[in-house]
Amino acid sequence: MDTALLVETVIKIVVILLVFSALAGFGTYFERKVLAFMQRRLGPMNVGPYGLLQIAADGIKLFTKEDIIPAGVVPLIFKIAPVITAATAFMAAAAIPFLPSFTIFGYEVHPIVADINIGILYVMGMMAVGLYGPLLGGLASNNKYSLISTARAVAVFISYEVVSGLAILAPLMMVGSLSLLDINDYQAGGITHWIAFSQPVAFILFWIAAFAETGRTPFHLIANDHELIDGFGTEYSGMRWGLFFIGEYANMFFISFVMAIMFLGGYGDGSVAGAFALLGKVAFFFFFFLWTRAAWPDVRPDQLMWLTWKVLMPLAVINVVITGFVLMF
Amino acid sequence: MFEAIAFYTFSFLTILMFSITVMTSQALYALTAMAAGMIFISAFFFMLSADFLGAIQIIVYTGAVMALYAFGMMFFDTTREVKEKIQNKNIVFVLGTMVALLVVAIFMAPVVSENIHALYPIQEGLGNTEQVGIVLFTKYLIPFELAAIMLLSAMISGIVLAGKKMDNSLTLMADEEIELMQEANEKVNS
Amino acid sequence: MPNIFTPLLARISPLKQTLSEDDLSIEVDAKNLFNNIEFAASAGFDYLVDITAVDYLSYPKTPVARYAMVYILRSTDFKSLLTIKSFIINEEVESITQLFKAANWLEREVYDQYGIKFTNHPNLKRVLNHHEFVGHPLRKDYIITNGQHCSIAESLMDEMDVQLEKHNLKDEEHMFLNLGPSHPASHGTIRTLVALDGERIKAAVTEIGYLHRGFEKSAEHHTYSQVIPYTDRLNYCSAVMNNVGYVKTLEEMLGVHVPKRAEQIRVMLMELSRIMDHLVFLAAQLVDMGALTNYWYLYNPREDVYNFLSKLSGARLTNSYMRIGGMSHDLYDGYEEDLQTIITNVQKGCADALALIKHNRIFHDRAKDVGIISAKDALSYGWSGPNLRACGVNSDMRYLKPYYGYDELDFDVVLGSHGDVYDRIMVRFEEIEQSIKIVKQIQATLIDGEINIADRSIILPQKKEVYTSIEGVMNQFKLTFEGIKVKPQEYYGSIEAVNGELGFYVVSDGSGTPYKMKVRAPSFLHIAALPEIIQEYQLADAVITLASLNIIAGEMDR
């Protein structure tokens, strides 16, 4: 392993960490603004022009707030749980190609930290590990609301892992590779080659599962404020709570990237236009997360389970079987 | 050099995590350490360029340990220490040692022996995933299918055991059905 | 005399009886009390309005005994009122919980406030006051300034164990969870202890009283006019409504009628309050389901109503706009424009919110068939207002016993069919529409004229008179310091408030302060049914069911 590669990788990791930490912050700002405009109000306006510095204010508040470890919790687990959420969210980013490769100062840069040939599997796995944050946080909190939230988290994630896994199976059978780069190149031929058109069922199923896995409305159950106060986050304060938050928003971004690359052609042929198109697609998916939050109520946990096991999973299985037959004959 | 550093680091971490799993009497620590250990093991697969197995290790074991957590939640107050009832410490000690020795013997055998050849040698030019697939669907086809059938039957029996009331969804039932069910409930209650 | 009373009087031979229009009040012997109530319930008076007691310790005319129980019943068609009063000797009465479910909490309240014991009551314990409280505050010998410091919360397991036993459940198989008193879904301070099996609620117990401020005790120490600002704090989402309910009762006791214009303005403000309260309800209800945006769509027009009331009365929340015999001042110039803006904005807000939820599958799945209560149970629990109408029972006093010219107005009584959360939401959406219709009609027909009655023993003189004439000064002085004199009587008056029948049972002793006042608060009776409704539903359903009852803690806890 040569030193150049090591340096390059470290730089990439640092850049991704910085960019997406900042984006997670801006994500909250976007969310508040988008929701505000949909709800006929202004949103943050007081800190900086159009409230742009609100995230800085929030950040300062979160960082300087007292870190309270309540009595009766399991201290060590309680402390590391938020770190797991944030860390795994960023670890998942290692296998995502954020942009097509480009040349800078005569040096070719691949904007992907580790081009492992099972990229999508790795991303899904890491996002699954991310669940340990809410899980451990909820169990260690010594709070009944956190406990219910944990139970919901386990049920929701296990169910939706199945749906998202089965949903991407069909496109993967078509592509014949688990590498996100290969998947992107498969669709390089333009808009007609997008997997979303050849696998519409898989696309929609994965999209629904993405809502469940990131815990967004209408599947905002794990930390449903009206029922569970803040779920697993009830006992957290300050930056530890902030880490959960960053993890959640980073996850939203990454899953948007995955969806854009998997189903909407990614960055296409790798041109500059393709790169911007990828960012546009990601922005659309992110916006869609906010849009549903403004438009829809939440479902009930048992309805969510019903939806998974009685509707989505059979659909996903049928989709896989049909894809298999089509590919075979 | 990097590989050596990584290997020793992960070895240390894995052993440490599983030691915690065995030693601690706090259910939450044990489960967390076990999950962490399982994930650290995947690092060895990645180091051996078995990316597919590494990722599968993560996905499968996070799910499996998650199920363990669910049981943990049901049986214990996870924020308190579990009081174990050990009636005879000697039996535990002897059995534990024997099992450990057995495991060591099993895993040392391939290392000591020199007559081991791969029946399906690695085929050049194929990816990791494909190779796993080829082995699974040729040499291990029958065990693989048997395992699949076993899991299927386990799943069905699970549904039968747990899902007796699964069809009673008030949102999907017609009004008359709900009334019937409520009447039945009232009879039970009164 | 309406026919409905004939069989009643034939069977019950009351010691005393007074009849006015549709209402009969009788006094019976304590020995036959239970049987008489049971007979009245079977003879058509099957809706329990209120139970209270009167302590005659310091009453000018010494009666037979210190305590009297008062039962107020309503006929099946809601048109006739029957008040049964009975003096009791040994502070013990037989409970009527087996006749009416509503009696459970109402009797607990009487026990709490007066210390009267009810035999055969399933759960006779305090309901409004803290369990550590010593004494019974509404007894005349309890000194009002005698505050007590209570600190330890109740575990409620005594009630929970009864519930568990009733349903054959085991203690250790359930997780007990406190929903409230401070929980985002409790909309104030209500505590519900639930026994959970998974997320399913197997048994529930509700505790109220966190906002109990002793309204009734305070009222006994203030003149009739001074009580008006207190009524603002009952249902604080529609303060004017409580004002009107209170002054209307007093006016009926005094035997005066406010001028037509005052009636019209009152109706207009009441309907605006109804709109406002329903908007709050709908906003909060939908937010509890996670439908966030509706909150602003519905709250922004409410802001317009608040601005209107603020311009009119000088206060946004606690208006205190009504006076006994009229109101503090007339409408301001140019109010029509503001009213028009309100109507436009409310209609737009409701249309937008409905557009978001009307055909939304998630909303339907969440709201339909959740928190169902049958019409029979709802009546037994003494429900009223939109909650009862959602069960399909027409209980609208505006329609059944019109007052203030409601009979001349064109509006529909909105009825549901199923008694679930969905019906409660949709009934209110439609009631807003009907209230707008009423406001528009009032605006079109509003006549000019006086807003106050001309009686100087009730209405304060003009400021000009006070400053320039000795009669004016004396008039003001007497009315302010001694209060309006109400001749001795016991009267129950009610209006159709936002949440249902808001009644005031007032006992006057001829002085300027009420001898006793009891508020018949609809929310108090609604919340009593909550533990039963939410059983066998999910935690998430319990949250929206609680919201769908529109519990206003100020009114419930008084």
Distances (CA, A) of A133 to A15, A82, A219: 24, 5, 18
Question: Interface of chain C against chain B, CB under 8 Å?
Answer: 166-168, 365, 368-370, 418, 536
Residue A285 scores a pLDDT above 60: yes
Burial of A46 (0-12, 13-18, 19+ CB in 10 A): exposed
Contact B189 C166 (CB under 8 A): yes
Q: What is the dihedral of CA A94, A97, A103, A107, to 10 degrees?
A: 20
* Band of pLDDT at residue B150, cut at 50, 70 and 90: very high
How far apart are alpha carbons A204 and A211 in whole angstroms? 11
Average pLDDT of the residues in C484-498: 87
Q: How far is C242 from chain B (nearest CA, A)?
A: 38
The overall average pLDDT reported for chain C is 85
Question: How many CA atoms are closer than 13 Å to the CA of C339, on its beta-carbon side?
Answer: 23
Q: How far is A60 from chain B (nearest CA, A)?
A: 31
Residue found under tokens 């049914």: C529
Q: Which residue has the higher pLDDT, B101 or C536?
A: B101
The pLDDT value given to residue B119: 63
The minimal CB distance from A294 to the residues C289, C293, C538 is found for C293
Average pLDDT of the residues in C137-157: 85
Contact C167 B185 (CB under 8 A): no
Residue C71 scores a pLDDT above 60: yes
Chain A: partners with 3+ C-beta pairs within 8 Å: B, C
Residue C3 scores a pLDDT above 80: no
* Closest residue of chain C to B186, computed from CA coordinates: C167
Chain C: partners with 3+ C-beta pairs within 8 Å: A, B
Average pLDDT of the residues in C478-494: 86
Contact B170 C365 (CB under 8 A): no
The minimal CB distance from A306 to the residues B29, B59, B169 is found for B169
Q: Quick one: tokens of C249?
A: 């009762």
Average pLDDT of the residues in C421-439: 90
Domain ranges of chain B: 140-190
The pLDDT value given to residue B178: 63
User: A142 contacts in B (CB within 8 Å)?
Assistant: 79
Q: How far is C189 from chain A (nearest CA, A)?
A: 15
For B102-137, how does the pLDDT look when each residue is reduced to its tens digit (9 = 90+)? 988 888 877 777 666 666 666 666 667 777 788 888
Contact C300 A40 (CB under 8 A): yes
Residue C442 scores a pLDDT above 70: yes
For C291-313, how does the pLDDT look when each residue is reduced to its tens digit (9 = 90+)? 888 888 888 888 888 889 898 88
- ipTM for this prediction: 0.83
Contact A135 B129 (CB under 8 A): no
The minimal CB distance from A1 to the residues B2, B58, B62 is found for B2
The residue among C536, C537, C538, C541 with the most chain B CBs within 10 A of its CB, best to mutate, is C536
Q: Which domains does chain C have, with CATH numbers?
A: 5-119 (3.30.460.80), 215-557 (1.10.645.10)
Flag whether residue B170 sits within 8 Å of chain C, measured between CB atoms: yes
A298, C286 Cβ separation under 8 angstroms:
no
Residue C449 scores a pLDDT above 80: yes
Q: Identify whether C461 is preceded by a cis peptide bond (ω within 30 of 0).
A: no
The three-state secondary structure class of C514 is coil
The minimal CB distance from B171 to the residues C166, C365, C418 is found for C365
Residue B65 scores a pLDDT above 80: no
Average pLDDT of the residues in C70-98: 85
The pLDDT value given to residue B79: 58
How far apart are alpha carbons B46 and C148 in whole angstroms? 70
Q: How far is A228 from chain B (nearest CA, A)?
A: 18
Contact C536 B185 (CB under 8 A): yes
Average pLDDT of the residues in C133-154: 86
Size of interface A-B (CB pairs under 8 A): 85
Residue B62 scores a pLDDT above 80: no
For chain A, count helices (H), then strands (E).
14, 2
The overall average pLDDT reported for chain B is 76
Burial of C277 (0-12, 13-18, 19+ CB in 10 A): buried
Flag whether residue B178 sits within 8 Å of chain C, measured between CB atoms: yes
The minimal CB distance from B127 to the residues A117, A142, A302 is found for A117
User: A229 contacts in C (CB within 8 Å)?
Assistant: 183-184
Q: Model-level pTM greater than 0.90?
A: no
User: A151 contacts in C (CB within 8 Å)?
Assistant: 198-199
Nearest in space to C402 (alpha carbons), one of C496, C326, C274: C496
The minimal CB distance from B55 to the residues A72, A125, A140 is found for A125
The pLDDT value given to residue B122: 64
How far apart are alpha carbons C54 and C51 in whole angstroms? 10
The minimal CB distance from B171 to the residues C166, C369, C536 is found for C369
Contact B73 A151 (CB under 8 A): yes
Contact B171 C168 (CB under 8 A): no
Contact A140 B128 (CB under 8 A): no
For C175-227, how does the pLDDT look when each residue is reduced to its tens digit (9 = 90+)? 888 887 888 877 778 888 888 887 888 888 888 888 888 888 888 888 888 88
Residue C1 scores a pLDDT above 60: no
Q: What is the dihedral of CA C95, C96, C98, C102, to 10 degrees?
A: -110
User: A295 contacts in C (CB within 8 Å)?
Assistant: 293, 356
Contact B185 C368 (CB under 8 A): no
Burial of C306 (0-12, 13-18, 19+ CB in 10 A): middle
By percentage, how much of chain A surpasses pLDDT 90?
0
Between A147-161, C108-122, C268-282, the lowest mean confidence (pLDDT) is in A147-161
* Closest residue of chain B to C538, computed from CA coordinates: B170
User: C543 contacts in A (CB within 8 Å)?
Assistant: 226-227
How far apart are alpha carbons B92 and B94 in whole angstroms? 6
Between B106-120, C66-80, C142-156, C359-373, the lowest mean confidence (pLDDT) is in B106-120
Q: Quick one: tokens of A29?
A: 């700002």
The pLDDT value given to residue B175: 63
Q: How far is C419 from chain B (nearest CA, A)?
A: 12
Chain B: partners with 3+ C-beta pairs within 8 Å: A, C
The minimal CB distance from C368 to the residues B171, B185, B189 is found for B171
How far apart are alpha carbons A301 and C77 in whole angstroms? 42
* Closest residue of chain B to A159, computed from CA coordinates: B63
Residue type, C553: A
Q: How many residues does chain A have?
A: 329
Size of interface A-C (CB pairs under 8 A): 82
**Which run of H or of E encompasses C173?**
none
Flag whether residue B33 sits within 8 Å of chain A, measured between CB atoms: no
* Band of pLDDT at residue B75, cut at 50, 70 and 90: low
Nearest in space to C556 (alpha carbons), one of C227, C199, C237, C165: C237
The pLDDT value given to residue B72: 66
Flag whether residue A248 sits within 8 Å of chain C, measured between CB atoms: no
How far apart are alpha carbons A203 and C97 in whole angstroms? 59
The minimal CB distance from C292 to the residues A144, A151, A293 is found for A293
The Cα angle at residue B111 between residues B110 and B113, in degrees rounded to 5: 60
For B5-56, how does the pLDDT look when each residue is reduced to its tens digit (9 = 90+)? 888 998 999 999 888 888 887 778 888 888 888 888 888 888 887 778 888 8
A206, A259 Cβ separation under 8 angstroms:
yes
Residue C416 scores a pLDDT above 70: yes
Contact C184 A229 (CB under 8 A): yes
Flag whether residue B127 sits within 8 Å of chain A, measured between CB atoms: yes
User: C536 contacts in B (CB within 8 Å)?
Assistant: 185
Contact B29 A125 (CB under 8 A): no
Flag whether residue A122 sits within 8 Å of chain B, measured between CB atoms: yes
User: A1 contacts in B (CB within 8 Å)?
Assistant: 2
Cβ density class C502-536: b for 16+ within 10 Å, e for less:
bbbbbbbbebbbbbbbbbbbbbbbbbbbbbebbbb
* Closest residue of chain A to B29, computed from CA coordinates: A77
Would strands A102-104 and C23-27 be described as parallel, antiparallel, or unpaired? unpaired
Write out C47-64 in H/E/C secondary structure.
EEEEEEEEECCCCCCCCC
Nearest in space to C251 (alpha carbons), one of C70, C24, C506: C506
The pLDDT value given to residue C20: 77
How far apart are alpha carbons A139 and A154 in whole angstroms? 11
The minimal CB distance from B59 to the residues A124, A140, A178 is found for A124
Contact B189 C536 (CB under 8 A): no
User: B54 contacts in A (CB within 8 Å)?
Assistant: 118
How far apart are alpha carbons B107 and B101 in whole angstroms? 10
The pLDDT value given to residue B98: 92
Average pLDDT of the residues in A290-311: 86
